[in-house]
């Protein structure tokens, strides 16, 4: 069964642990201290937003009908066998045209420090148990990595998805 | 079931992948294109010209893509006729292909001005890999290039030539400013500043009247409508595209601003579907019929057409036909939806050098421009697309705080995404 990162919006305290963990996990050095020493510029691919009292982490939903896949004019954005949508690790290279940024309804795609390639959640931060770094770091259980049936995965994309993604939808 | 796809660019590739994904291994897939090469990204041709990319690195898909997908790939063959009643297409080498369902994804071709000398050696359009190769082969001898057209393709080509080392690059624009169809005056001026800093020159209100050959028959200059003649040994025409509709029209299919398709991407011919730059679409906001002409739309139409070819009945929602993202030098620009409307809000953020323009109709965001920082642009696009009430978010949107808007768009009862624990 596919596993997805689910967000429990009620539990987020806005502590930003997920962002730090995400940024560090995506460095070569794998530790903040060593990464900074080595001149790396750690960038988080998960975002924490606050509106009034409401706080919440938002990251890529790896949408079923991901608009970023349609928009990528370099052919760099692709879906891996495990469902992960990413612009890294394939043969084609991201060119930083921001077409994906223009169509992501969650605003979940950012750019690298130099502003030359798009960065997004690639789940390339999973430990031996397969759990992503942001989930491991979340102290309140606002982020949960869990198996979802295809059906509920659909429903979930439905929930967040319908709200913002609008016409994206099938097929 | 035998599916034949004509054209293996954005629309054709998306369709083939979807036909395989949803149609399973038993669907027989054949793809034909008149270009001799593996699929490549047209949009990256400027990067190829600039020397930033190689032919290898602008390919759209990894090596071995067609065999792996189980597609018979016929490259370098033009389809010259379509006989819908016999369910056959005819290739230029005399071969015939029978189909059960056909997808016409033939794209578009550049519009060339009907002026004397347009066939002179040294006058180009930039649409195909072949165009780019021929242009690049002239580079060492080019000292003055003239670009005709101040739209996206023209400006990208101009900048590419400059980066490639052409000493003088001049853009002749028919309008009084750049990117009239994409940007407002402020954003266009930002682009102009960026490109001027990169060394490009601009002439406004300028139309070509003739391309003038020199003594060896190659281009020597461009004569403008006002009588001026400007020296140039290379000219690139970038005055828009015209959908490739011939096959369908000659077969008796309906054609408007492009091939006419219904919401299932069916043409008026039985079992013939069409997608991408070759079709006519209805703009989601204005209801106007126009040609498609955008990468994103080509890919999504390819996907929808494929589903419908498999009999899955997926209705294609009317698209936004202004949906552009581009980078000029160090300036990023995103422009979506309408440029004018009842209420227009604009702001310039000095700290990040970002300009934002929002266009509202009533409660609804119907268009926007971001120039500078484009982070979160997709949230604006989603608001334009869905038509959700957005007026109450205007301040956040004007300040670029799209993330907060995402939160705000979650209705209270949905703020728990799923029952966990
Ligand atoms: C330089 C440049 C920059 C661009 N930048 C952007 C951008 O930033 N954003 C954006 O949204 N769009 C951009 N575009 C437009 C984008 O490339 C097109 O919207 C997109 O390629 C359309 O895809 P398509 O599959 O519909 O058709 P096309 O890409 O036109 O492909 C159609 C294919 O069908 C083949 N064909 C046609 N007729 C026949 C026939 N009779 N028999 C066999 N084969 C045939 C053609 O040779 C071609 O290979 C750019 C275009 C150019 C040229």
Tens-place pLDDT, residues B53-101: 999 999 999 999 999 999 999 999 999 999 999 999 999 999 999 999 9
Model pLDDT, residue B265: 98
Residue B117 falls inside a structural domain: no
For residue A40, the 8-state DSSP code is -
Tens of pLDDT, residue by residue over B348-384, are: 999 999 999 999 999 999 999 999 999 999 999 999 9
User: Into how many domains does chain B fold?
Assistant: 3
Q: Do A144 and B420 touch (CB under 8 A)?
A: yes
The beta-carbon neighbor of B18 closest among A90, A103, A171 is A171
pLDDT tens, residue by residue, A50-82? 998 889 999 999 998 899 999 999 999 999 998
Q: Quick check: A10 and B61 CB within 8 A?
A: no
Q: Is residue B138 part of a domain?
A: yes
**Co-location of A158 and A142 in the same domain:** yes
Whole-number pLDDT of residue A169:
40
- Spatial strand order in the sheet of B229-231: B208-213, B219-224, B229-231
Mean pLDDT throughout B32-41?
A: 95
CB pair distance less than 8 Å for B407 and A54: yes
Domain range for B260: 2-45+52-109+241-309
Listed as ranges, residues in chain A with pLDDT below 50 are 151, 154-171
Task: For residue range B99-110, list pLDDT tens digits in order.
Answer: 999 999 999 999
Is the pLDDT reported for residue B10 higher than 90?
yes
Please give the average per-residue pLDDT across B11-22, as a whole number: 97
- Is the confidence at residue B416, as pLDDT, over 50? no
User: Does the beta-carbon distance from A107 to B402 stay under 8 Å?
Assistant: yes
* CATH code for the domain in which residue A72 is found: 3.30.70.20
ipTM of the complex: 0.94
Q: B95 and B8 in one domain?
A: yes
Last residue of a domain, one of B252, B275, B309: B309
Residues 6+ apart with CB under 8 A from B318: B281, B282, B283, B284, B287
Task: Examine the domain organization and report whether B28 and B88 are in the same domain.
Answer: yes
One domain for residues B184 and B148: yes
In a domain? residue B388: yes
Nearest CB partner across the interface for B378, out of A92, A104, A171: A104
Work out whether strand B71-75 and strand B28-33 pair parallel, antiparallel, or are unpaired: parallel
Classify residue A171: in a domain, yes or no. no
Percentage of the residues of chain B whose pLDDT score is greater than 70: 97
Q: Contacts from B140-144 at CB under 8 Å and sequence distance 24+?
A: B141/B233, B142/B166, B142/B233, B142/B234, B143/B167, B143/B168, B143/B233, B144/B168, B144/B169, B144/B170, B144/B230, B144/B231, B144/B232, B144/B233, B144/B234
User: Are A48 and A34 found together in one domain?
Assistant: yes
Q: Which helix (H) or strand (E) holds B381?
A: helix B377-386
Contact by Cβ (8 Å): B400, B373: yes
Is residue A146 within 8 angstroms of chain B, CB to CB?
yes
Of the candidates B299, B294, B305, the residue with the CA atom closest to the CA atom of residue B337: B294
Establish if A29 touches chain B: CB-CB under 8 angstroms: no
Q: Residue A29 belongs to a domain with what CATH number?
A: 3.30.70
Q: Could you tell me if A58 lies within 8 Å of chain B, comparing CB atoms?
A: yes
- Span B281-314, pLDDT tens digits: 999 999 999 999 999 999 999 999 999 999 999 9
Residues of chain B in contact with residue A99, where contact means CB-CB under 8 angstroms, are 295-296, 325
Percentages of chain B per state (helix, strand, coil), in multiples of 5: 30, 30, 40
Query: Is the confidence at residue B343, as pLDDT, over 60?
Result: yes
Both B297 and B349 in a single domain? Answer: no
Written as six digits, the tokens of B289 are: 């019929």
Is B237 strand, coil or helix? strand
Determine the 3-state secondary structure of B344 from DSSP: strand
Residue B337 has pLDDT above 80, yes or no: yes
Chain B CB within 8 Å of residue A107 CB: yes
Residue B66, CB-side half-sphere exposure with 13 Å CA sphere: 20
Q: What is the pLDDT of residue A149?
A: 66
> Are the Cβ atoms of A171 and B312 closer than 8 angstroms?
yes
Closest atom, ligand 1, to C-alpha of B157: 1
| Smallest Cα distance from B46 to chain A, Å | 12
Contact B45, B134 (CB under 8 A): no
Full domain range(s) for residue A88:
61-120
Say whether both A141 and A113 belong to one domain. no
Q: How many structural domains compose chain A?
A: 2
Residue nearest to atom 29 of ligand 1 (CA): B9
The b-or-e profile of A77-98 (16+ CB within 10 A means b, else e) is bbeeeeebbbbbebebebbbbb
Q: Are B397 and B356 in contact (CB under 8 A)?
A: yes
At CA B4, angle to CA B2 and CA B7, rounded to 5? 165
């Amino acid at each position: 069964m596919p596993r997805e990162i689910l967000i429990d919006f009620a539990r987020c305290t806005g502590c930003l642990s997920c962002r730090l963990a995400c940024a560090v996990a995506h460095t070569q050095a794998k530790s903040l201290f060593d990464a900074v020493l080595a001149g790396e510029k750690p960038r988080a691919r998960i975002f924490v937003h606050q509106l009034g009292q409401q706080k919440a982490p938002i990251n890529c939903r790896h949408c079923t009908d991901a608009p970023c896949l349609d928009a990528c004019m370099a052919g760099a954005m692709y879906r891996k066998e495990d469902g992960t949508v990413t612009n890294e690790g394939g043969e084609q290279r991201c060119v930083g045209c921001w077409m994906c940024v223009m169509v992501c309804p969650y605003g979940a795609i950012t750019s690298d420090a130099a502003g030359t390639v798009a960065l997004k959640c690639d789940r390339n931060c999973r430990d031996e148990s397969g759990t992503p770094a942001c989930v491991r770091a979340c102290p309140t259980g606002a982020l949960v990595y869990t198996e979802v049936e295809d059906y509920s995965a659909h429903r979930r994309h439905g929930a967040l998805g319908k709200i913002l993604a609008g016409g994206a939808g099938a097929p | 079931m035998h599916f034949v796809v004509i054209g293996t660019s954005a629309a054709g590739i998306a369709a083939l992948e979807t036909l395989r994904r949803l149609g399973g291994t038993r669907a027989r897939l054949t793809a034909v294109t008149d270009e001799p090469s593996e699929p490549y990204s047209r949009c990256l041709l400027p990067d190829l010209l600039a020397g930033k990319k190689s032919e290898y690195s602008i390919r759209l898909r990894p090596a071995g893509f067609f065999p792996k997908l189980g597609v018979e790939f016929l490259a370098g063959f033009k389809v010259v006729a379509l006989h819908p009643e016999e369910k056959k297409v005819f290739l230029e080498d005399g071969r015939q292909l029978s189909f059960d369902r056909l997808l016409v994804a033939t794209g578009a071709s550049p519009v060339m001005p009907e002026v004397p000398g347009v066939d002179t050696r040294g006058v180009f359009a930039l649409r195909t890999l072949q165009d780019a190769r021929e242009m690049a082969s002239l580079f060492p001898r080019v000292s003055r290039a003239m670009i005709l057209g101040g739209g996206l393709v023209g400006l990208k080509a101009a900048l590419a030539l400059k980066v490639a080392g052409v000493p003088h690059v001049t853009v002749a624009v028919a309008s009084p400013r750049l990117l009239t169809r994409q940007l407002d005056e402020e954003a266009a001026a930002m682009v102009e500043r960026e490109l001027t800093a990169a060394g490009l020159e601009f002439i406004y209100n300028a139309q070509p009247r003739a391309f003038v050959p020199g003594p060896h028959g190659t281009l020597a200059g461009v004569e403008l409508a006002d009588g001026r003649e400007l020296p140039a040994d290379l000219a690139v025409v970038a005055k828009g595209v015209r959908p490739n509709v011939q096959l369908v029209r000659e077969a008796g299919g309906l054609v408007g601003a492009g091939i006419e398709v219904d919401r299932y991407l069916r043409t008026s011919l039985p079992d013939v579907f069409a997608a991408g730059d070759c079709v006519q679409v209805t703009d989601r906001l204005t209801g106007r019929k126009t040609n498609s002409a955008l990468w994103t739309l080509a890919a999504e139409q390819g996907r929808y057409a494929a589903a419908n070819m498999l009999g899955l009945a997926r209705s294609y929602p009317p698209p936004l036909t202004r949906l552009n993202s581009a980078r000029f030098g160090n300036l990023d620009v995103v422009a979506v939806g309408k440029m004018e409307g009842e209420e227009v809000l604009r702001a310039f953020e000095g700290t990040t050098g970002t300009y934002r323009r929002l266009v509202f109709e009533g409660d609804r965001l119907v268009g926007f421009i971001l120039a500078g920082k484009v982070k979160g642009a997709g949230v604006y696009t989603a608001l334009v697309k869905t038509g959700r009430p957005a007026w109450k978010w205007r301040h956040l949107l004007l300040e670029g705080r799209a993330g907060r808007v995402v939160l705000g768009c979650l209705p209270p009862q949905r703020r728990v995404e799923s029952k966990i624990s």
